[in-house]
Amino acid sequence: MYLEAINLSKKYGNFYALRNLNLRVEGGKCVGYLGPNGAGKTTTLKIFTNLLRPTSGDAIINGYSVQKELKKALKDVGTLIETPNFYPYLIPMEILSMLCDIRGATRKDILEALKKVRLYEWRNTKVKKFSKGMTQRLAMAVALVTNPSIMILDEPTTGMDPQGMAEIREIIKDLKKDGKLIFMSSHLLPEITDVCDEVAMINKGTLLLYDTIENVSSKFLSNSVVVEFLEPVKDIKPIQEIKYIKAINQINPYKIQIDFSGNAEEQYEILKSLLKMGYKITSYRSEGLALEKAYLKLIGGDKIE
Ligand SMILES: Nc1ncnc2c1ncn2[C@@H]1O[C@H](COP(=O)(O)OP(=O)(O)OP(=O)(O)O)[C@@H](O)[C@H]1O
């Protein structure tokens, strides 16, 4: 099972919301589609679910073009693009039953889907009583009712409180365990690191990177450390002389940030030199969330949550 964008572009007038996107995601895993507001995430997902037509290029799912062979392409796909407005006086069983006829799901499928999204106990409660998180989970159940192998989710935790977010993330992790391919957009880095195996980063309609979270992290992880000292550092010049160090930023008398060239080996050599020089070090750690560094570097420093 796979999703593939081939030279996918979407133009609004002269503005490219998406420019020559080439991306193939394949297999049972969760791929995060990460980018700041306006990056082109929703545009991409809407093209994959036929809510938008591309200006050029192809969106392929399992070998079928979404634009040319829609039914075949979306046969095994569940989507959650915008939370639907459910009629408030209906109960989940009724809402999902309506789908049985349309999509050929059985009562057993409905109960399964409700269990997966942890709404089984609420199956006979009117949705007007539901929180935002529960409504979103019901929308997930709608996407899941035919037990598709591929799930396309657009910012599935947007607008939810922390508890609601955590519940959705746990459900996504369960779906991953079921062997599904999940392609989900998000502008929340901690969410992507928590839930996803791989990340595709996009900004201004252009793909910046597609790799495993692990690789992205290790690529960007080890070139900056924050060192804390037992005693104030009065003169940083001797530290600047240490091999591999590129720049030093003294945060306060007891704390400096070191940018260096290299990886773990060099990071270790720097620590050895500092100890040899007699500095009393109380803490020595790689700085920040590695993925965040990679992300900020790639999108040119825009701050995100
Ligand atoms: N119908 C439209 N007409 C003109 N421009 C549009 C239209 N729809 C989207 N855009 C523009 O295309 C760009 C990409 O939008 P898109 O919704 O795909 O971004 P996104 O990454 O999903 O952002 P967000 O996180 O805010 O949802 C944005 O600059 C947006 O303003």
Question: Residue 167 carries which side chain, given as an amino acid letter?
Answer: E
Task: Flag whether 208 is in a domain.
Answer: yes
17 lines ligand 1 (CB under 6 A): yes
pLDDT at 220: 59
Of 183, 288, 180, residue with least CA distance to 226: 288
Q: Is the CB of 46 under 6 A from ligand 1?
A: no
Identify whether 230 is part of a domain: yes
Helix or strand (DSSP H, E) at 22: strand 15-26
Between the CA of residue 182 and those of 39, 82, 190, what are the distances in Å?
20, 16, 17
Q: Is the CB of 62 under 6 A from ligand 1?
A: no
Note if the pTM is more than 0.90. no
Specify whether 243 is located in the same domain as 165.
no
Does residue 117 sit in the same domain as residue 228?
no
Of the candidates 212, 243, 258, which is a domain's last residue?
A: 212
CATH number at residue 266: 3.30.70.1560
Say what the pLDDT of residue 290 is.
60
Residues 183, 81: one domain?
yes
Residue 35: CB atoms within 10 A of its CB come to 27
Q: From the CA of 162, how far away is ligand 1's center (Å)?
A: 26
In a domain, 304, yes or no: no
Instruction: Provide the pLDDT for residue 129.
Output: 94
The reported pLDDT for the residue numbered 298 is 73
Q: Residues of the chain whose pLDDT is less than 50?
A: 221, 302-305
Are 105 and 78 in contact by the 8 Å Cβ rule? The answer is no
Tell me the CATH number at 199. 3.40.50.300
10 Å CB burial of residue 66 (0-12, 13-18, 19+) is buried
pLDDT of residue 303: 42
Closest CA to 305 of 188, 166, 165: 188
Per-residue model confidence (pLDDT) at position 288: 54
Q: Structural domain tally of the chain?
A: 2
Ligand 1 atom closest to the CA of 43, numbered from 1: 18
Q: Give yes or no for residue 43 CB within 6 A of ligand 1.
A: yes
Q: Of the residues 212, 241, 269, which one is the last residue of a structural domain?
A: 212
The protein residue whose alpha carbon is closest to atom 25 in ligand 1 is 37
In a domain, 305, yes or no: no
What does the pLDDT read at residue 302? 46
Residue 289 pLDDT = 56
Structure tokens at 256: 């400096």
Q: What is the pLDDT of residue 102?
A: 74
DSSP state of 69: S
- Cα(206)–Cα(241) distance, rounded to whole angstroms? 40
Q: What pLDDT score does 301 carry?
A: 56
Determine which residue's CA is closest to atom 11 belonging to ligand 1: 17
